[in-house]
Amino acid sequence: MSRPAVPQQPLLTFPDAERSPLSIRAKALVFVDPRSRELRKEVERLAIRPAPVLIQGETGSGKELLARHIHNASERSGLFVALSCSGLGARTAQAELFGYVTAGQESTVAGRAGWFGSANGGTLYLDEIGDLSLGLQEQLLQALETGEVLRVGANRATPVDVRVVAATSIDLAQAVAAGKFSERLYQYLGDGLLSLPPLRERVGDILPMAEYFLGIHAQRLGLAFPIIGERAQRTLEAYSWPGNTRELENIIHFALLVSTGDEIEPRHLNLPGIGDPLALLESGFRQALAVDDASLRERLGRWLREASQRLEG
Ligand SMILES: Nc1ncnc2c1ncn2[C@@H]1O[C@H](COP(=O)(O)OP(=O)(O)OP(=O)(O)O)[C@@H](O)[C@H]1O
């Protein structure tokens, strides 16, 4: 039996308020490292299935970009609606997510439809799904399983055709074990699990991404396109990138603005430790401790101690 059509809602504003103003939305996925290329194959495979997807990855690693890519590759005709579950109001979350009806019908169309209804025919991206309350997790699962939502204040359920792509930066299996996340929803979403490795484990992506960000920011700002010098390249590859791709983009944007010649050098990279002599000495100490030869280790240690005393004095 075919379902009654649900009108498409003319929306949307994406909740971008928490994003760094420096960050721009990449138009392309830069996936060069062998691990990323494997992941890409998995993404293409999952994208064309109607099933939900769960993307697990550290903050800034590219989960939303991947979700957009999945939506585009799925050829679903509706909108891609991005929602951060951590941004939902404690008391209004249910109405925000599933919509509501009011006697006077004075609310806006978007308000009535809720995020779920707004993604009808398209994809609902639920960032940090672990932040959803257990009650809403159950309602979400029910909506996904039945293809219907019950708006707050409504007597009848409304049919919806929504594909969910959820994302998390925490290990949801642990949240399930701790009783904080619904096991059934985890199993439902986990059918399409994508694990996005942190940037430090995709070293082959670092320089191509750096070049890519340099290109788009240089073009946007009308600046000449400097090259990334050999030493700066090694520095970028050796850094641990706790903020992942978003941090890399910010570092490259900064380097573009502060470099004067036609080459980016390590001193242009605003990374912890670079240009800070005490931090350099600290890393020297660490390396000296690892030296096999005891007398050399002792001499290096003495020399480094003297140097740091001079610096501190
Ligand atoms: N593979 C990639 N190629 C090009 N740009 C990328 C890639 N991955 C991420 N980016 C860019 O890095 C930035 C961060 O990505 P995104 O917002 O998708 O990360 P996220 O994991 O969803 O972050 P958060 O955990 O904060 O929600 C964005 O500007 C995005 O366009």
Give the position, in ligand 1's atom list, of the atom nearest the Cα of 24: 29
Average pLDDT, the chain: 84
pLDDT bracket for residue 25 (50, 70, 90): low
How far, in Å, CA of 208 to CA of 203, rounded?
10
Pick the residue whose CA is nearest to atom 8 on ligand 1.
62
For ligand 1, atom 25, the nearest C-alpha belongs to 59
| pTM for the structure as a whole | 0.80
Contacts (Cβ under 8 Å, ≥6 apart) of 239: 200, 271
Spacing, Cα 125 to ligand 1 middle (Å): 14
Nearest residue to 62 (alpha-carbon basis) of 199, 163, 171, 192: 199
Residue 149 has pLDDT above 80, yes or no: yes
- Among 202, 246, 251, name the best residue to mutate to test ligand 1's pocket (greatest count of ligand atoms within 8 A of Cβ): 246
26 lines ligand 1 (CB under 6 A): yes
Q: Indicate whether residue 115 lines ligand 1 (CB < 6 A).
A: no
Closest to 126 in 3D by CA, of 210, 185, 200, 205: 185
- Which of 194, 245, 250, 252 has most ligand 1 atoms within 8 Å of its beta carbon, as the pocket-test mutant? 245
Q: Where are the alpha helices (DSSP H) in the chain?
A: 34-47, 63-74, 93-98, 109-118, 134-146, 172-177, 183-190, 203-221, 230-238, 244-258, 277-289, 294-312
Cβ(60) – ligand 1 distance below 6 Å: yes
246 lines ligand 1 (CB under 6 A): yes
What are the structural domains of the chain? 34-197 (3.40.50.300), 200-268 (1.10.8.60), 277-312 (no CATH)
Give percent of the chain with pLDDT exceeding 90.
62
Indicate which atom in ligand 1 lies nearest the CA of residue 30.
3
247 lines ligand 1 (CB under 6 A): no
**What was the pLDDT predicted at 11?**
29
Which atom of ligand 1 sits closest to the CA of residue 26? Answer: 31
Task: Write the residue with the smallest CA distance to atom 23 of ligand 1.
Answer: 60
Ligand 1, atom nearest to 57 Cα: 21
CB-based burial of residue 199 (10 Å sphere; 0-12 exposed, 13-18 middle, 19+ buried)? buried
Ligand 1 proximity of 193 Cβ (cutoff 6 Å): no
pLDDT at residue 23, as a whole number: 52
Give mean pLDDT, residues 234-251. 95
What mean pLDDT do residues 12-21 have?
A: 37
Is the CB of 226 within 6 Å of ligand 1? Answer: no
Of the listed ranges 126-135, 176-185, 203-212, 303-312, the one predicted with least confidence: 303-312
Query: Is residue 234 in contact with ligand 1, taking CB distance under 6 Å?
Result: no
- Any ligand 1 atom below 6 A from CB of 68: no
Comparison of pLDDT for 145 and 284, the residue scoring more: 145
Render pLDDT for 162-199 as a digit per residue (tens, 0 to 9): 999 999 999 999 999 999 999 999 999 988 999 999 99
Q: Residue 9 has what pLDDT?
A: 33
